[in-house]
Every structure is written in structure tokens, then in C-alpha cells.
Structure 1
Amino acid sequence: MKKRLFVTGLSGFVGRHLKSRLNGHDSTWQVMPVAARYDLTDAKTLEGLWPELPDAVIHLAGQTFVPEAFRDPARTLHINLMGTLNLLQALKARGFTGTFLYVSSGDVYGQVSDDGFPITEQQPPAPCNPYAVSKLSAELLSLQWGISEGWPVVVARPFNHIGTGQKEHFVIASAARQICRIQQGLQTPQLSVGDIDVTRDFLDVDDVVSAYLALLEKGTPGRIYNICSGREQSVRSLIELLADIAQIEIQLTQDLARLRTVSQRRVCGSHARLHQITGWKPETTTQQSLRSILSDWEIRVRQE
């Protein structure tokens, strides 16, 4: 018999990939249907949400866009911290005692000096934006809940992930959309970009989903795990690779509106702990990811 898995944020970028994975594969998990519409910031909507008790929960839902967190930090904290508290309290009231996987972010590490790479879980968090503060706060809350309630709580810190279905305000999705618009004659061969001479640790969303499922099965309660590729790649190199795959010439122009406040210049994480405990490792190449993203945007641009 399959175990029941409740996932918040199932309609989001990662949630849709997770649902597709579990629906399309022989899995030990069955995603629970949502009994009613709910809002994590409104505790009353969570009452009676689970006719059957979940065996595990993956908490994906949240406000994930850093510029939005700077625009409205109170709302970001309300969604990401208080929303998590409301979820934990509602699960406790229902009698939940299963595994709770809190999805945080590699962004909690903040500014890391060059001698701190690759970033391990031993790196002290130093969040540089309200989004990262909200995620670190909810991490601590979830781990405290695990101690107080005796639940197996595991924290995941995913780094940058890319893939099909991502919203266009994320850098690689934005570049892919613009390249497809150029291909279809909808804009001149100029790409509007932010600061692309930074490096990030990019991981395909399907590998991220695999990591979450591996942590549900084998993650050690009370521990934190980086989810990352372990490779440092510049944003510029990925955009140039997208253009090469699409076989078009592009000119890059910097848009000041796309520049972020306080940006870490380099990012590269270590997934050694995750690999050691679960055996997980990345399976999707950057080329495979970018080809899928372009194919996805080709369709989406036609439908705009």
C-alpha cells in the first residue's frame, strides 16, 4: 500500500514536477488530494484539511522571489514563517506524527568568502535579504517542532534550480523566453538582463525532486541537507549556451531594473552529506536542462 504524502505548493514550479513524478512512476508515495482550498496565512482554512492523516509532508509553498521580499518584507515573513507555524499547528491538532520535510533555501548562507567554497552545511547562515531571513526562521521553527513534538523533521536547502514551467522573472527562464520571442520574430535580437557576471550552482528541477524523495526515505531527522549540483557556472555562460542551442545571435543589454540589492558574486555548494546519507547525485546535464527549457518556452511564447 502506498504511503500518503501531503505537499504544500503543489501547483508551483517544483510542486508540479513532483506531482508529475509520483503520478507517472511506480512510487511508494501517493500525493494526497486537497480536500478544500486553503491559505497557509489563514489558520482557519487548514481546519479539516486532512480527512486522512498524511504519512509525510513536504512543505514547498512560500514566497520565493527575492525582489518581492525586499518590496514587501512583512508579507514575505508572514507567508514563509507564520504560514509554516500555521501548518505545523494544524498538523499537530490533526494528530500528525510523520516525517516533515521543510524546504528552505541555499540563500540562507548569504555572503560567503572565496575560501568558504564549496558551501557545506557547516557554513554559518548569514542571510542578506528578507526572503532568506524568512526561510532560516522557518527552518529553526520546524526543527524546534521536531524536538518538542518528537516528529522526524528534515530541512532541505536547495540552491538555484531551473527547468520547465518556471516563472519568467527567474533569470534563466527570462532569457529562454526572450530567445524564443526572438526566434519567433516577436522581439529584436537583444536580451534584457541583470547582472549576469555572477556564478550560481544550478540544478535541474527533476534532480531537486529526486533529492526531496530521497530525503523522505533516508534523511536523518533533525539534520539539514544542501541540494545542489556542486558545480559553479556563470549566468552569462548559461545564457550564451541557450543562444547556441537555439542557433541565434544575441546582444545582451543590462536592465537596471533587473539588478538585485546585495548579491553574492559566487555560489557553489556541496551535496556530499546528501550523497553520503541517501546515495543521491545529479543526473541531468546543463545541456539537457536548457534544451527542455527552450522547448517549453517555444510552446508558451506561441500561447502568449
Structure 2
Amino acid sequence: MVKPPVHSRKPAPDLWRGKRVLVTGHTGFKGAWLCLLLSQLGAKVTGFALPYEPGPAAYDLLGIAAHLHQNQFGDLRDAQAVATAVRSAEPDIVLHLAAQAVVGRSYRDPAGTFATNVAGTISLLEACRGTPGLSAAVVVTSDKVYRNDGTGRAFRETDPLGGSDPYSASKAACEIAVASYVSSFASTLPPIATARAGNVVGGGDFGEDRLIPDLFRAERAGQPLAIRQPDATRPFQHVLDVLSGYLLLAEDLIQKPSETPRAVNFGPDAREMSVQDVLDTVARVRGRAVNWQHADPQAIYAEAPRLAIDASLARHTLGWEPRLKEDAIFLETAEWYEAWLKGEELRGLSERAIERAISS
């Protein structure tokens, strides 16, 4: 397994131990891993999210309910429910991950996507205003917030926001809303920053229209994997690397708010990978070919063929570095899914992965 650079910074257990942390979206893939990570750091975690959708879910397979101080189910679009969750949690820190995050679904339900991602975030910001003891908030958006000019150049935090599909546009609008609240209501809000992460992979992702979950679902069903754009490139990275970045951003908002950037990219330090690159890498680390075919053209929706982000700001200001590189990302991910396919216990496996991530 690839060792991290010696200067790579890790979350500080002393800062998180005993902290009351509100995590929205805790029933999702990243949210579940974040709750497990925070639990191992000694935080008291309150989760707020919709119940997870039917079928396998990281929330269930990682045993997240047992790690929560409070477990609240509600809809981000319900402003009263959000306000109640914030009051009940009495958070020191808010990590906002809840979202409608599926591009394909955003085409089917654009209004619901904007309501969740924009109005829901505004409801959370309103609930946070004047909350006693709240010292930092991180709002997670997306690498897709940028106006994609199709050149494949790596976007930086100062590039124009945009988004042609409803999901991307809703996340860009979320960025604008957060910046507006920070500018307009700084006296009643804690230091807030947005986090723009590239494509996140890891065990426990069962989302629709996502490459790695689709691969293992197809394998489980004995069917070829349907690929929409094998040449499309994305900034793939491991979930625990990204979550560590979110925590470092929150730490700096608390410890040195005037010096901490208010929008930060998190992406791989290696080249972006095409979908074909990923399939070849998975085949190499597993020792067998991936059975795939081109998707039905009628099932293909508009997606940017190339997407890259520049994460040098996170490296220079937060001391953040991805721990896992290309082969190690997909080896660790494949091992998790193979354990799932075999019906093996996954919580211990996942806790050991977290221990490696925060101690190595």
C-alpha cells in the first residue's frame, strides 16, 4: 500500500474528541464513512438525513446507528425539521453533506434537486445563525460547480461557477448562497467554507449511475457492466482521503479562521483517469478482466467528457495530501466489495481502514 508523504497532515484527535458534530447526509455513502471516522476520533455525532434507500447501504453495513449520539431522520427541504435538528444537536461543528447528488436523477427531478441542494442549504444556514457554541461549518458541494469549457484544464477555486445540468447548476447556486450568507450575516454565523471534491470511490457506495457500484452490481447479477462514456475523465480519489480533507478544513476554520480559504478543491495529485483507465486498473489489481459493454444510447444523458480540478490550495494551506494513489485506491475499494459479495463482516474491515488513514 502506498505510504503518504511525510508532510501529509492528519485530523487531530485532540480537537475532535468530545466535540458535538452535526453531520447532515449521514445515511449516504460519504456521510456514513464520516460518522464512523468521527466516532473513532472521539466526537459525539448527531446525524440528520432522509432514511437510506432500500437495498444495501453503507449506513447499515458499517453499523452507523451504534456510533451516533443522536440519530435524526428528516428532509432537508423541511426548514422546521432542519432547525429542530440543529437545536437538538447543539453542535460545535456542522459538516453538511446532505444533497441530491445523482446527475441522472437531477434530469428527472430538477425542481427537487434545486429544492434540496439550494433551499435545503439555506435552511441549514438559517438554523445555524446565532447558534451558541457553533465554531465552524463546512458545506460540501462538488467539483462540478465550475463553468466547464470542455478544455480539460484543471479548475481552480477562482474560476467562474456554472453548471449545465440541474445537479451541477444547483451546486453552483449553493456556492453562491453560502457566499452570500457569509458576506451578509457574518456576525451571526460561524466561519464557513465550501468543499469541492472530485469523484469519490470506496467500499459502501451503492448509489445509482456510479461507476464502481455499477460494476459490482453487474458482477453480482452476472451481467456485463454498461458504460456510457469510456473515454470520459474524472478526478477519482478515495473516500477517506476526501473526508480527512473536510476535517482539516473545519479544524483550520476553528483555529485560524482569518487565514483559511472559504472554498477549497480536493482532488488527486496524479493525473485524472478515464473510465477505461479505471476499468483497466480494477482488472489489474483484481487479476481478472472486467466484463463491460457500451450502454444503450437512449440511456446516455449529457455529461462533460473531461473534468479536472486543481487541489494545490488544499495542499499548500491545509497540508492535505491524498494517502492512496491509483492502484491502492481501487485495490482497497475492490477488497471491500469482495468482502461484501462474500457476506463477510464489514464494520471491522472499515474501522481498520480508518485507523490506517488517520494514523499512517
Band of TM-score, shorter chain: 0.7 to 0.9
CA drift at 1:295: 2.3
Q: Does 1:252 align with 2:266?
A: no
Deviations 1:30-63 (A, max 9, x none): 3233364322111222343233521111110010
CA drift at 1:74: 0.3
Residues 257, 86 of structure 1: CA spacing in aligned structure 2 closer, same or farther, 3 A cutoff?
farther
5+ long unaligned stretches in structure 1: none
Choose the corresponding residue for 1:7, options 3, 15, 23: 23
Choose the corresponding residue for 1:38, options 49, 74, 99: 74
Alignment of 1:122-271 (within 5 A): 122-150=158-186, 151=189, 152-169=191-208, 170-179=210-219, 181=220, 187=222, 190-219=224-253, 220=259, 223-230=262-269, 231-256=271-296, 260-271=300-311
Residues 193, 80 of structure 1: CA spacing in aligned structure 2 closer, same or farther, 3 A cutoff?
same
Deviations 1:224-260 (A, max 9, x none): 1111114211111111221222322344311126854
Give the Cα separation in 2 of the matches to 1:158 and 1:58.
Answer: 14
RMSD of aligned C-alpha atoms? 2.3
Q: Does 1:88 align with 2:125?
A: yes
Residues 258, 297 of structure 1: CA spacing in aligned structure 2 closer, same or farther, 3 A cutoff?
farther
Instruction: State the AA in 2 paired with 1:23.
Output: S
Contact 1:35 1:51 (C-alpha < 8 Å) held by counterparts? no
Instruction: State the AA in 2 paired with 1:278.
Output: L
Residues 258, 271 of structure 1: CA spacing in aligned structure 2 closer, same or farther, 3 A cutoff?
farther
Residues 301, 282 of structure 1: CA spacing in aligned structure 2 closer, same or farther, 3 A cutoff?
same
Give the Cα separation in 2 of the matches to 1:194 and 1:88.
Answer: 37
Q: Secondary structure at the match of 1:127?
A: coil
Give the Cα separation in 1 of the matches to 2:328 and 2:338.
Answer: 16
5+ long unaligned stretches in structure 2: 1-16, 47-68, 254-258, 344-360
Choose the corresponding residue for 1:67, options 76, 80, 104: 104
Give the Cα separation in 2 of the matches to 1:48 and 1:35.
Answer: 13
Give the Cα separation in 2 of the matches to 1:222 and 1:249.
Answer: 43
How many residue pairs get matched?
294
TM-score normalised by the chain length of structure 2: 0.75
Residues 99, 253 of structure 1: CA spacing in aligned structure 2 closer, same or farther, 3 A cutoff?
same
Give the Cα separation in 2 of the matches to 1:206 and 1:251.
Answer: 28
Paired residue for 1:275?
Answer: 315
Contact 2:150 2:305 (C-alpha < 8 Å) held by counterparts? no
Paired residue for 1:293?
Answer: 333
Q: Does 1:77 align with 2:126?
A: no
Residues 278, 250 of structure 1: CA spacing in aligned structure 2 closer, same or farther, 3 A cutoff?
closer
